[in-house]
Amino acid sequence: MAVLIGVDAHKRTHTLVSVDEVGRKLAERTVQATSEGHLNAVQWAGQWSDVSFAVEDCRHMTRRLEHDLIKAGFRVIRVHTRFMATARRAGRQPGKSDPIDALAVAHAALREPDLPVAALDGPSRQVKLLSDHRHDLILERTKVINRLRWHLHELDPRLTIQPRGLRRYSTMDSVAVRLEGFSGTVARIASDLLARCRELTQQVNQLERELRDLVRASAARPTTTGSSTEARPARKHYGC
């Protein structure tokens, strides 16, 4: 008998509900949202011979669970949140809602035959994470530069810096020399901001080199067909 286990995932616990091929509830279990808890889920699922899992596509909640289940050899189906609303409304009743939500995930997975199947994260996610991190650092550097420009203008209105000049080490070196001629709180803050700008630039440049190497390495790998890995960006959590 094929069994599907729907999962209602939370930060601290996951509630599991197993159903048969027609959606009849067989059993339920709650485990801790840790690798040890995931092992308990695997052991509990071992009472059936043919088991798949279905999780709502909220990867900030389910990524670690997906990884542990896939490593244990289970097929994990991702259920988009838009498929959940009707099932939840139909199943609402007084009392604890976690088993109801887990059952709704299972029913949605049975109802929708073409849902994506999760796969272990590969180089593409590493590139996405590093790219997002670099983007955040660039935004932070822009804020630092804007604050620094105002302090520099207060110290010396005649000082002219090109629009993107504070991204270059040579310009930062020149500004550092100019700041040595000033004292006081504004000069101190400007020096701190300049140091932070230099640090952020070093991090941004290092990440750019890492990303370049990763992209080149990925391009050199032979491609495979029929992969179940999704192409959706990992940073989006689809409303969860």
Residues 107 and 134 grouped into a single domain = no
Helix (H, G, I), strand (E, B), or coil: what is residue 52?
A: strand
Helix (H, G, I), strand (E, B), or coil: what is residue 59?
A: helix
The identity of residue 7, as a single letter, is V
Within 8 A by CB and 6+ apart from 188, the residues are: none
Domain boundary among 111, 138, 163: 111
Residues of the chain with pLDDT > 70, as a percent, come to: 82
Residues 12 and 61 grouped into a single domain = yes
pLDDT value of residue 90: 53
Is the predicted pLDDT of residue 240 greater than 80, yes or no? no
Q: What is the pLDDT of residues 180-193, one digit of tens each?
A: 999 999 999 999 99
Residue 237's pLDDT band (cuts 50, 70, 90): very low
In the structure encoding, which two tokens stand for residue 96, read together? 């604890």
Residue 231's pLDDT band (cuts 50, 70, 90): very low
User: Across all residues in the chain, what is the average pLDDT?
Assistant: 84
Cα–Cα distance measured from residue 109 to residue 76, given in angstroms and rounded to the nearest whole number: 10
Residues 186 and 129 grouped into a single domain = yes
Is residue 177 included in any domain, yes or no?
A: yes
Residues 69 and 98 grouped into a single domain = yes
In the structure encoding, which two tokens stand for residue 191, read together? 């020096």
- Note the pTM of the prediction, 2 decimals: 0.56
In the structure encoding, which two tokens stand for residue 161, read together? 């810096």
Q: Residues 21-50: what's their mean pLDDT?
A: 93
Residues 46 and 66 grouped into a single domain = yes
Domain boundary among 85, 111, 137: 111
Rounded to the nearest 5°, which phi and psi values hold at 78? -100, 125
Is the predicted pLDDT of residue 42 greater than 50, yes or no? yes
Cα–Cα distance measured from residue 42 to residue 51, given in angstroms and rounded to the nearest whole number: 10
Residues 103 and 174 grouped into a single domain = no
Is residue 236 included in any domain, yes or no?
A: no
Residue 238's pLDDT band (cuts 50, 70, 90): very low
Residues 105 and 143 grouped into a single domain = no
Q: Residues 96-119: what's their mean pLDDT?
A: 87
Residue 217's pLDDT band (cuts 50, 70, 90): confident
Among 9-18, 99-108, 152-161, 231-240, which stretch is predicted with the lowest mean pLDDT?
A: 231-240
Residue 1's pLDDT band (cuts 50, 70, 90): confident
What CATH number corresponds to the domain at position 77? 3.30.420.10
Is residue 205 included in any domain, yes or no?
A: yes
Please name every residue paired with 77 in a beta bridge, in sequence order, or none if there are none.
Answer: 54, 117
- Determine the distance from the C-alpha atom of residue 19 to the mean position of all C-alpha atoms in its chain, rounded to a whole number: 30
Torsion, Cα 21 9 130 194, to 10 degrees, reads 170
Q: What is the pLDDT of residues 53-94, one digit of tens each?
A: 999 888 778 888 988 898 888 999 999 877 766 555 554 554
Name which residue leads in pLDDT, 4 or 214.
4
Residue 124's pLDDT band (cuts 50, 70, 90): low
The candidate with the shortest Cα–Cα distance to 204, out of 128, 125, 126, 141, is 141
- How many domains, the chain? 2
The identity of residue 45, as a single letter, is A
Is residue 41 included in any domain, yes or no?
A: yes
Domain residue limits at 21: 2-111
